Chains A and B, each alone.
Chain A
């Protein structure tokens, strides 16, 4: 097929998988806020990482220039996506890799599961990957009788604890060391019963637990941080060496990657490999980065597959005000600085992608009308800390406001009758369109004073305005409006002097 668009423009096709929240954000946040241990853990962890990030970012005199280059590169990628995808496929295939395309979560899961079954095995080792989390791969494989072993320490903690990730970089950020120790003691076979909560010893326990799996696994499943179009190269950025184990030792490697992960070429790594580690773990460089291009004879997996995933990414791309959300490199700096995330934690967002980026990416991938996802763009005070921290300068507050508008517009269409909000906005339009109208409205101020009563506070407003008074009182309005006071107090000078006599 040529890249020239021939037919009718198609409607966006949204994604599915672990992206739909079944409880509105305010309700979920309210519940999560009750967990004081989690809040203490999150506060400690997010403040630790913030300080580390600031220190290593401050070391680079050209940090802002790197951000500018990063943002522009990603915009280029999105504008030229079809050509870059074709170029990548040609190069990856020429070097012995096999590419599969998946329209949605279900199709990707089926492709991966079939590839595993071809290898006559019922277990795989996994490198931490957001894409496979998003499509619910582990759950799907379990239904197919295949055990997927997460090998990243935090993912292992989550998997052993029958828990859900709450952060994209450190999925077990909501657990402290003592809680991790307790999970290991309860769930890890052959663990030393005298295990303490020292992080070094906990890491050693994980090493022991996974070593045999690494050395005997026939198939590994990974994600990818970057894909270079001009060479067909894939990159995985990690810390523990579990990634290297999975990418090197098994005979078969299956990588699942969103179509937006492309970079034009090698030169772009010089930007992104400076931006990513400093923004995510606050290190000058992560301990290990692996790059591979198809198959290398005599080194690493000889059966190399890549699943290119859409699952709503093209729908996000179709939103011209929201598409820069696809520029995200999953560093997690935005959640580490977010005052809302720091208090509610990641579970409140109900999606694979929590925090500020999740509040825009999730509804962009699924559509604003999906279940309770329309509540996500409101999970922000619009303070803008996320925009400042973002290494590729995604203007998250602007997209949040855009999606709030989408939400209001989509609901307006649902009912034939105008909503309370419509009526209030109509009223505001009338009142603020002329001084005369506003003056007329202000004559009603004493009524408000009457409603406030003796303690001079209005404690409950009717209708949707009740949301405003749920957590605060409105002080009684003054007896006269500012404009009335101005009129009386600023008479012509002569008149004032006359009065003072």
Chain B
């Protein structure tokens, strides 16, 4: 008997009293009617609690804000599908600082490690827990690019913010590689006190964009 057959047979034997389970009661909150302005306020509060830096801007200010956030970086990586217009102000003197990660011509891990920052968009955000979801789409890139550089600048279009996790899950394609980010990397392993900044990006800048 294969290991699988044997384990399944053990389970069937273990369940020979045919336990019945009650249907799953879903009485918890699954929808919210919080106005968009309050959603933004809630998300900002949660992200700042995690020690992320947050800007809330109109779409007209986006390019300037991105330039400001990337000011200190000697190099930054963007996924191939990022909107070129977002970078207008970040590259006043040509694109020497920018590295583009393109499928089929990706940056090596070493190149990523030698890159100061990364700029991505995001798929959906959950205000109540301060969580931003990346799904590997063209404007977010493969997982490695938002992981290895030490500084992550992440754009959150306001239309992608919901209040509750149960509102966010239907917007996710679960079979894509998903990364849920709630603040910069952190640890509570020493005396259970939270310290920000371990292996993931130590600096997280979030730009929430109205009208996007």
Chain A residues with a Cβ under 8 A of chain B: 1, 3-5, 7, 9-10, 12-13, 41, 44-46, 48-49, 52, 61-62, 65-66, 68-69, 72-73, 75-76, 78-82, 85, 95, 100-103, 107, 151-154, 157, 170, 172-173, 176-177, 180, 199-200, 202-204, 206-207, 210-211, 214-215, 228, 231-233, 239-242, 244-245, 247-249, 259, 266-267, 269-271, 273-274, 277, 281, 283-293, 296, 298-300, 308, 310, 314-315, 317-318, 320, 323
Contacts and interface: CB of A to CB of B under 8 A. Distances in A.
A12 B7 CA distance: 11
A139 B104 CA distance: 40
B179 A289 contact: yes
B11 to A, nearest CB: 5
B143 A248 contact: yes
A154 B189 contact: yes
A107 B23 CA distance: 36
B187 A239 contact: yes
Interface of B: 2-17, 19-30, 46, 49-50, 103-104, 106, 109-110, 113, 126, 128-131, 136, 142-144, 147-148, 165-166, 169, 172, 174-201
Contacts of B17: 320
Contacts of A206: 198
Nearest to B200: A241
A70 to B, nearest CB: 9
10 closest cross-chain pairs (CB), A and B = A241-B200, A318-B14, A241-B199, A314-B10, A154-B189, A240-B198, A285-B129, A241-B185, A285-B182, A101-B3
Contacts of A249: 109, 144, 147-148
27 contacts: A1-B5, A1-B9, A10-B9, A10-B10, A10-B13, A44-B191, A46-B192, A61-B29, A72-B22, A76-B21, A153-B187, A172-B189, A176-B190, A176-B191, A199-B187, A203-B198, A249-B109, A249-B147, A269-B165, A284-B129, A286-B182, A287-B182, A287-B183, A287-B184, A288-B180, A292-B177, A293-B177
Q: Which of A4, A72, A202, A288 has the most CB of B within 10 A?
A: A288
Contact of A3 (B8, B21, B169, B201): B8
A151 B185 CA distance: 14
Given A170-B192, A318-B13, 8 more contacts: A48-B191, A62-B28, A177-B190, A233-B174, A240-B185, A249-B144, A266-B169, A287-B183
Contacts, number: 279
B142 A103 contact: no
B199 A240 contact: yes
Contacts of A231: 174-175
A85 B188 contact: no
A488 B149 CA distance: 88
Contacts of B106: 298
B15 A81 contact: yes
B44 to A, nearest CB: 14
Given A300-B142, A314-B7, A287 B165 contact: no
B28 A296 contact: no
A292 B113 CA distance: 23
A270 B17 CA distance: 31
Contacts of B5: 1
Given A103-B3, A203-B197, A233-B175, A157 B28 contact: no
Contacts of B136: 296, 299
A122 B26 CA distance: 48
A243 to B, nearest CB: 9
A266 B133 CA distance: 15
B208 to A, nearest CB: 17
A102 B3 CA distance: 6
A176 B193 CA distance: 11
Contacts of B169: 266-267, 269-270
A284 B128 contact: yes
A285 B183 CA distance: 9
B198 A288 contact: no
B165 A9 contact: no
Contact of B181 (A72, A152, A202, A287): A287
